Amino acid sequence: MSAFTPSLPYTGAVQAVVLDWAGTAVDYGCMGPADVFVKVFAAFEIAVTVEEARQFMGLEKKEHIRSMCRLPRVAGQWQAKHGQAPDENDVERLYARTEPMMVAALADHAEPIRGLLPFVEDMRRRNVKIGSCTGYTAPMMAVLVPEAARRGYAPDGAVCSSDVPAGRPFPWMCYLNAIQLQVYPLAAMIKIGDTVSDIEEGRNAGMWTVGLTQSGNELGLPENAVEALPPDVLNRRLAAIETRYREAGANYVVRGIWDCIDVVEEIGGRLANGDHPCVCIPRVDA
């Protein structure tokens, strides 16, 4: 770790990256969790769309359910079916069904996204540490981490929502990554994710933030479906995602982890010039 004087800008190297899991590092399209939420609500005779399920992706899973229950269409169905609007007891009932279903699904959604392993190899060469964080809970990560390792991806640390007082957009998972990796200052770290809540989390932590438009939840398509889209349709949808990320304060926006080696290189140069993630102008790469 490089020492620095707080009154002066940090001009050292990038020391660590913190990657989200589903849609960023593994599970192209973030397919596993979206399907689980649809099935969980269906078990209570409530029809939710995949789009409604994806709307709150990146949040801690109980907060995700709580947010879905606040949607007028979902709350209205619940009122009609169960005689009242969903309350906290209902959130607990939904979550009790969610966790085992999510655990069961994760083993089938642990394949590294194209470009992840070369990215990790490049970070190792640069002596950049690799942290991770997620809206998944400890029982879910107990399945996902070894499955990903079996496929070649093993970050230096894995922090989940149940390890901290609150999940995204609070910065606690990023802070715990910094502690575990022994990295300081936070401006020497880069948060990479595929949801608006990832961007908000990284910004709140004082890290550089990178939003991924194509591989993750915001587009929400498996790789073969992405490749089948007409280029103009894909570009239009990615542009809308870029706009949401820019509004959330992302420093960089790229399509996937395969584009992030160059981003780390550029951030390293900007740090050397005294740039700080919280005062620089957000940028978008096509």
Catalytic residues: 20, 61
Specify the 3-state DSSP secondary structure of 230: coil
Phi-psi region of 35 (alpha: psi -120 to 50; beta: other; left: phi over 0): alpha
- The two tokens of residue 74 are 């979902």
Distance CA 103, CA 12 (A): 40
- The two tokens of residue 103 are 């655990």
Helix axis angle for 31-43 and 88-106, nearest 10°, is 140
Beta strands 159-160 and 129-134 are: parallel
Distance CA 131, CA 155 (A): 6
Residues constituting the chain: 286
Phi first, then psi: what are they for 241, rounded to 5°? Answer: -65, -40
- The two tokens of residue 86 are 């969903």
Q: Which of 100, 103, 174 is nearest to 134 (CA)?
A: 174
Specify the 3-state DSSP secondary structure of 65: helix
Element (H, E) at 18: strand 16-19
Distance CA 148, CA 145 (A): 5
Q: Which of 219, 206, 284, 286 is nearest to 251 (CA)?
A: 284
| C-alpha R_g of the chain | 19
Distance CA 92, CA 105 (A): 20
